[in-house]
Amino acid sequence: MLRHAKSDWGQPGLADHDRPLAPRGRRAAGLLAAHLAKEEVAPDVVLCSTARRARETFELVQDALPASTTVFFERRLYGAASDELRARLHEVPDGDPSVMVVGHNPGLQDLVLELAPAADPELVSRVEAKFPTAAFAAVDLDVDRWTGVHPGTGRLVAYVTPHDLA
């Protein structure tokens, strides 16, 4: 799960969906891209919100991911709640074993906490406290099919924020 990086609020009247990344967000996404490359994060599929800030975040981390990664930009991920995100995961073909979701809060934070409530207490506590812009959480799911993704079926195995990488 990857929350979009910090967006720019400097253009009054610009629709929320159309807000670009702020310079700070671009820097944070660059730090995250280096981290993803170092950790060899390799999703088979990326599901990305169509919001400009989410697309720009993905574009800045894309080179850290395998070239074979399939990417879907979907409007329904914009502002999606955790149950909507989970429903979208249920639609992923079972032949794709790993997925990265690039989206928004509170949906992403809620989804991580729902999927992995009994994970490493320190990591869970950090996610509960804050899931800031450009935060990344990796959840290992104990399911054979994507339709089996339900609350409590995962284990939080990694959580990193831009502050951790600076």
**CATH code (residue 51):** 3.40.50.1240
CA 29, 33, 36, 41 torsion-angle sign? positive
Q: Each residue of 96-147: pLDDT tens digit?
A: 999 999 999 999 999 999 999 877 889 999 999 999 999 999 999 999 999 9
Q: What is the pLDDT of residue 3?
A: 98
- Please compute the mean of the pLDDT values over residues 77-97 and round it to a whole number: 97
How many domains does the structure of the chain reveal?
1
Burial class (CB in 10 A: 0-12, 13-18, 19+), 122: exposed
Instruction: Give the structural domain span for 111.
Output: 2-165
Rounded Cα distance, 86 and 73, in Å:
16
Of 89, 61, 59, nearest to 76 (Cα)?
A: 89
Record the pTM. Answer: 0.95
Tell me: the pLDDT tens digits for 22-75?
999 999 999 999 999 999 999 999 999 999 999 999 999 999 999 999 999 999
